[in-house]
Structure 1
Amino acid sequence: MNKLFLEKIILGNSLANYILAVLFLSLVFLIIKIFDKFILKKIDSFIEKFSNSFSSLVKEIVKKRIYPLLYLFSFYLIFLNLKTSNQISQFLNLVLMFLTVIFTVLAVLDLISYSLKKYWSKKLQSEEQQKLLSITLFIVKSFIWIIALLFILDNLNIQIKGLITGLGVGGVAIAFAAQNILSDLFNYFTIFFDKPFAIGDFIITGDYRGTIEHIGLKTTRIRSLSGEQLIIANTDLVNSRINNYQRMEQRRINFSFGLTYNTSLVNLKKVPLIVEEIINSVEKTKFDRAHFAEYAPFSLVFQVVYYVQASDYKIYMDLQQQINFKLKERFEELGVSFAFPTQTIYLENQNQFENN
């Protein structure tokens, strides 16, 4: 009686086959539950010792990507052992292929997104860099989904050679039409990775100078010293010479001054020592040299070189001002005068000229 009951045919399959299918699904479900509770937990604990974030990623991929695939394959194996029409079999094959590609792509994208975000987290300093991360992820995801779509179309026996050729020709045409935009975009990536400057840096490029305010996908905005905003294409910036003053560890200063010709030799010899003493007394400066350089038309010229241990221009000007004040004070104490353009005219007696 039981044998007859199990051999009862429903939709082309015996009741025994349906019971075996249910038992198989239950077994798969049980195995996954055991793996999830014991083995995955141990794997997660082991990985967590090295990286909490990667441990969370592995757990998420296994639960959201691998488990659904295992259930799909289980259903597929069941239907292989059941008698179904060719249309249903073909439909199930397509569904399995389609979902397998989707879950596989999602797992790959999870790994890529994690890797890029991990790499970027060491470099992120501004919203612009966060924007670049989003753009990069969008490009990578789009590329992978296009490959997945072509794979699906190829398995559906759709001729994709013409499509690929059309995409190639269309891509070339679009790239040619938007070459300036693409050039600026790629140079934005160059600026990001090579970092010739960053927001807040004071730069000089060509005839322009100012502080970087914004680095965009196509242009970079610079606030000039006179107040206006300069908008320069990224391509122009990358292809030009850039002086980045923000990255100066020290600023070399070369200045000169002149003393009057009536300065005595004794005092002239004291001047380099006085200059060295003054510069060494000012913070954030390092004395290099001071010399009596030349006999100029109106003065005895001294040249001085020292270093400012800062890149900020305002700091340099404050220090130079201190040095100038102290030079003026010391020279007044010494009785030495700074020179200025003068001219001496000698007049000869007119009567003596006529006698001669």
Structure 2
Amino acid sequence: MNKPLFLLFFSLFAFSQSAFSQLITDDQKLLQLEEGVDLSSPYHTTLSFFYNLERTNFSPDLAAKTLDTRNIDQDPKDLAIKLQQIFEGKGVIVRTSEIPNDPDYADSSAGGEHKFYFDRNAMPGIFLVKRGKQWKFSPFTVAQIEEIHRETYPFGTDKLLNILPKIGTSEYLGLQLWQLVGLGILIFLTFLAHLVFTFLVDRVLIYLTKRLGYGYIGENYLLPIAKITSFYLIVVVLSLLMRVLQLPAEIWSWVVMVFNTLKPFLITVIFYKIVDIIAAYFSRLASRTESSLDDQLVPLIRKTLKALVILIGTLFILRDGLNFDIIPFLTGLSIGGVAIALAAQDTIKNFFGSIMIFIDKPFQVGDWVTSGDIDGTVEEVGFRSTRIRTFRNSVMYVPNGKIADSVVDNHGLRKYRRFYTTLTITYDTPPELIEEFVKGLREIVLAHPDTRKDYFNIYFNNLSAYSQDVMFYVFFEVPGWPEELNARHELLIQIVKLANTLGVRFAFPTQTLHMETFPEKKGLVPEYPGQASYQENLRKFLDTELKKKPD
């Protein structure tokens, strides 16, 4: 082969279907390849391997010389062809201008050993090593070729590599006939798979869920997940079958990147939808509990899980789709996280405070709580703060970190609500009347449906400056403050009626000037009829007021 023709051949070779995008055109090196192989450097070994596997210069026996086949019983030529198919199937572009031409090249990331890796992410097990003065594909790589080839072309798709080219190798639009036919078949199968999955999802899935009584769950939760899953399965099948077409490396590398991006993206969307199902399940569990704090926890769990799914999905998209090394990113993120944590101490404190609130459950939505200046009803518990509605109808947003460190008095968790007051009666009230009045008060408490019957204290217990004092100490067994107020109202009405029936007068702060009683005038001090009359009046009150049948 003369020199101009040989250079022309290599110019065409640069644009052909291969794993190269750039070639060295050094005359002396090309002549060395024409005679056989050159294993003096990683660059020459790579050039020798791919050059001898080109269709126009197909010499697998020469390409096999680049493999270190010691202790390997398989056909070296077959292994060389499969290794080339691995490069093409994974869409790895080997840029010869970036391959070291130094015979003594040492990889600093591999401990200074004489190794050269083509792509650590896509093909970590395929690399060159130096043996003596020759660079060859390592024995480890050669031993892994069969396994990597099966991973690249799974489910028997590798057999299509030998069947499809028999259709024809004539070139049209830069592709061979069998590649164009295979591409048309894939397009047809894609539309067919879409129709099949659409039928299975829209018809069969909905029908089955309705028959089982879960039609709402099927339409609102399972159907979106099934649709995304069908798209994911189509992408997976296409990524497996398109490798068989052996498209030019420059095109196939972009196709591989698209597929590798779509896969983690669709999986992220699937898990994003699954979070809604998990949240619906927890919401159903929360509705069965008496605590309303669980109802606030479900939205927070849903938001947290969705944020976590998006974060992890983004990392996988960067790693698998864009070949982005996320290890330095995660390392930098951890270092930056320390700085962020120092700058956002209060936010982190409030976050952990909210976690402690949900774990300890010191209160729930609707409870009346007091803590220092905080006094109101809990309306919402968030990740950062708790919203409390005060009795002035204003809203307080209290950081959860402050609540977690404070003493909280939860009035909403009271089993009984205390009612304590002092009934002041005038000093002219006889002891016998006071005794009957106290008895009537106790009967009022026992007759009321919302009072605690096993513990209450009603006694004549003090003589103050202007009155005789009766302690009225009772408890209500009611769920909330409005019910407590209503119980107080009913109890006080009965007390006033009792006092009016017995003739007990309530005292208030006054100053009384006592004068001698004039013969022709009646004194201001009332005349009390006596104990028998008191008892009769109490009996009438009990019969008429406390023994009434409810309407």
Match of 2:315 among 147, 154, 175: 147
Structure 2 SS opposite 1:241: coil
Maintained 8 Å contact 2:205/2:223: no
Structure 2 SS opposite 1:161: helix
Q: Structure 1 residues 291, 30: closer, same or farther in 2, change over 3 A?
A: closer
Maintained 8 Å contact 1:286/1:308: yes
Structure 1 SS opposite 2:245: coil
Q: Output the amino acid matched with 1:142.
A: I
Question: Aligned partners of 1:68, 1:38: CA distance in 2, in Å?
Answer: 13
- The answer as to 2:188 corresponding to 1:10 is no
Maintained 8 Å contact 2:271/2:309: no
Give the unaligned 5+ runs of structure 1: 346-356
Maintained 8 Å contact 1:105/1:148: no
- The answer as to 2:411 corresponding to 1:245 is yes
Question: Aligned partners of 1:38, 1:225: CA distance in 2, in Å?
Answer: 57
Question: Aligned partners of 2:412, 2:508: CA distance in 1, in Å?
Answer: 36
Quote the offset at 1:173 in angstroms: 0.9
Maintained 8 Å contact 2:368/2:375: yes
Question: Aligned partners of 1:196, 1:278: CA distance in 2, in Å?
Answer: 35
Q: Structure 1 residues 193, 46: closer, same or farther in 2, change over 3 A?
A: farther
Q: Structure 1 residues 325, 331: closer, same or farther in 2, change over 3 A?
A: same
Question: Looking at CA atoms only, which structure, 1 or 2, has the larger radius of gyration?
Answer: 2
Question: Aligned partners of 2:308, 2:402: CA distance in 1, in Å?
Answer: 27
Kindly provide the CA deviation profile for residues 176-220 of structure 1, in whole angstroms up to 9, marking residues without a partner as x.
Answer: 111102322443455567654456543211354234466565444
- The answer as to 2:300 corresponding to 1:136 is no
Question: Aligned partners of 1:223, 1:89: CA distance in 2, in Å?
Answer: 62
Aligned to 1:329: 500
Question: Aligned partners of 2:421, 2:271: CA distance in 1, in Å?
Answer: 62
Structure 1 SS opposite 2:420: strand
Maintained 8 Å contact 2:448/2:491: no
Q: Structure 1 residues 16, 166: closer, same or farther in 2, change over 3 A?
A: closer
Q: Output the amino acid matched with 2:344.
A: A
Q: Structure 1 residues 141, 307: closer, same or farther in 2, change over 3 A?
A: same
Quote the offset at 1:22 in angstroms: 3.2
Q: Output the amino acid matched with 2:342.
A: F
Quote the offset at 1:110 in angstroms: 1.4
Maintained 8 Å contact 2:462/2:470: no
234-243 or 172-181, which moves further after superposition? Answer: 234-243
Structure 2 SS opposite 1:210: strand
Quote the offset at 1:40 in angstroms: 7.4
- The answer as to 2:445 corresponding to 1:274 is no
Equivalences, count: 336
Question: Aligned partners of 1:149, 1:73: CA distance in 2, in Å?
Answer: 15
Maintained 8 Å contact 2:182/2:245: no
Q: Percent identity over the alignment? A: 19
74-83 or 223-232, which moves further after superposition? Answer: 223-232
Q: Output the amino acid matched with 2:226.
A: V
Q: Structure 1 residues 10, 74: closer, same or farther in 2, change over 3 A?
A: farther
Match of 1:45 among 207, 214, 238: 207
161-170 or 115-124, which moves further after superposition? Answer: 115-124
Q: Output the amino acid matched with 2:209.
A: I
Structure 2 SS opposite 1:81: helix
Maintained 8 Å contact 1:120/1:133: no
Aligned to 2:372: 206
Question: Aligned partners of 1:71, 1:221: CA distance in 2, in Å?
Answer: 48
Q: Structure 1 residues 13, 263: closer, same or farther in 2, change over 3 A?
A: closer
**Superposition map of 1:292-311 within 5 A:** 292=459, 294=461, 296=463, 302-310=470-478, 311=480
**Superposition map of 1:93-172 within 5 A:** 93-120=256-283, 132=300, 135-136=303-304, 139-152=307-320, 156=323, 158-172=324-338
Q: Output the amino acid matched with 2:208.
A: F
Structure 1 SS opposite 2:398: strand
Match of 2:345 among 174, 179, 196: 179
Maintained 8 Å contact 1:290/1:302: no
Question: Aligned partners of 2:413, 2:329: CA distance in 1, in Å?
Answer: 51
Q: Structure 1 residues 141, 176: closer, same or farther in 2, change over 3 A?
A: same
Q: Output the amino acid matched with 2:255.
A: L
Question: Aligned partners of 1:160, 1:214: CA distance in 2, in Å?
Answer: 38
Question: Aligned partners of 1:54, 1:278: CA distance in 2, in Å?
Answer: 55
39-48 or 94-103, which moves further after superposition? Answer: 39-48
Quote the offset at 1:9 in angstroms: 0.6
Quote the offset at 1:99 in angstroms: 1.3
Maintained 8 Å contact 1:184/1:234: yes
Maintained 8 Å contact 2:170/2:177: yes
Q: Output the amino acid matched with 1:59.
A: L
Maintained 8 Å contact 1:6/1:14: no
Give the superposed CA RMSD: 4.3
Question: Aligned partners of 2:242, 2:448: CA distance in 1, in Å?
Answer: 88
Q: Output the amino acid matched with 2:319.
A: F
Question: Aligned partners of 2:395, 2:218: CA distance in 1, in Å?
Answer: 48
Give the unaligned 5+ runs of structure 2: 1-165, 515-551
Aligned to 1:62: 226
Quote the offset at 1:304 in angstroms: 3.4
Q: Structure 1 residues 329, 221: closer, same or farther in 2, change over 3 A?
A: same
Maintained 8 Å contact 1:117/1:133: no
Q: Structure 1 residues 7, 250: closer, same or farther in 2, change over 3 A?
A: same
Q: Structure 1 residues 8, 251: closer, same or farther in 2, change over 3 A?
A: closer
